[in-house]
Structure 1
Amino acid sequence: MTDLVITRIFDAPRELVYRAFTDPDQVSQWFGPVGWSVPRDTVEIDARPGGKQVFTMVNDDDPSMASPVDSTFVEVVENELLVGEEDVSHIPAFGAGKLRMRIEFFDEEGGRTRLVLTQSPFPAEMETGAREAWGTSFTKLDKLLA
């Protein structure tokens, strides 16, 4: 098990990047790796401690392939921090009961934002695929923020 840490600079102010993670309309436009979509009617986000983040990623080529996400926010600092936990005990590959995701938002020069995403505990054998998936997802987010 390891910590998956991804850092990405977005060419947009911190408030806009944060909103892209907490606004259901925006999440449905960018979340998920290339080849997957998030139907807007599956997205519910209540960004506060104890609030839920629920949505379903659907494979574009085979809609019968779906990946539901059902996490609970444990820490929220507007425009700065989102921390959520998801029960992954039903996914044997994770080898853990809970997956914790921490997303930190930092100001960068020129009105840009540095995002640091940490998922843990993370199975080392899934790290490469997860990095690629986040990378293509963030490319979709770049286009939305442009």
Structure 2
Amino acid sequence: MSDTTAAQDLVMTRIFDAPRELVYRAFTDPDQLAQWFGPIGWSVPRDSVSVDTRVGGYQRFVMVNDDDASQSSPVDSMFTEVVENELLVGYEDVTGIPGFGDATRFEVRREFHDEGDKTRLVLRQGPYTAEMEDNAREGWGSSFTKLDALLAR
């Protein structure tokens, strides 16, 4: 990352109207992940999803633009910490992002907390430039709207 661009982490907290185990499962079950992940206007084909939820395991899938299938965004992340129903920590190494070096590691930490009969998710991801952080916040927020709908079923 260039010296003129400050890095920062995206930090989001969201309350879901579902027990912690159900919210955690939505992040780790391939069938559910395919139903909600990606901002509105993007989908994740179920046949692209592969998840191995353990330390050293992975989460792989492809987000595809609903209006133009030639636009896609593969995700290939590794888990470094896993505590069932409580914590998912991992990273993804990416290349070709303007303002960053040849290979950048984006880390993501998802904490699942009981909030009565609901779940408080704390998400931390980065490092991002300020503009990228805004886009990531918007993307996660849009995805979480889809997750709310899934959890309400």
TM-score > 0.5 by shorter chain: yes
SS of the equivalent of 1:105 reads strand
Q: Any conservation in 2 of the 1:42–1:56 contact (CA below 8 Å)?
A: yes
Let me know the Cα RMSD of the aligned residues: 1.0
Identity of aligned residues (%): 68
Deviation of the 1:130 alpha carbon: 1.2
**Aligned match of 1:36 in 28, 32, 42?**
42
Unaligned runs of 5+ in 2: 1-6
Q: How many residues align?
A: 144
Task: Specify the alignment match of 1:118 in structure 2.
Answer: 124
After TM superposition, list the pairs within 5 Å mapping 1:97-136 onto structure 2: 97-109=104-116, 111-136=117-142
Larger radius of gyration: 2
Q: Shift of residue 94 of structure 1?
A: 6.2
What secondary structure sits across from 1:82 in the alignment? strand
Q: How far 1:95 moved relative to its partner?
A: 1.6
1:46 aligned residue: 52
Q: Find the counterpart in structure 2 of residue 87 from structure 1.
A: 93
Structure with bigger helix share is 1
- Quote the offset at 1:92 in angstroms: 2.1
TM-score calculated relative to the size of structure 1: 0.96
Q: Secondary structure at the match of 1:92?
A: coil
Distance in 2 (CA, whole Å) between partners of 1:122 and 1:9 is 24
- Structure 1 gaps, min length 5: none
The whole-number CA distance in structure 2 between the counterparts of 1:83 and 1:42 is: 21
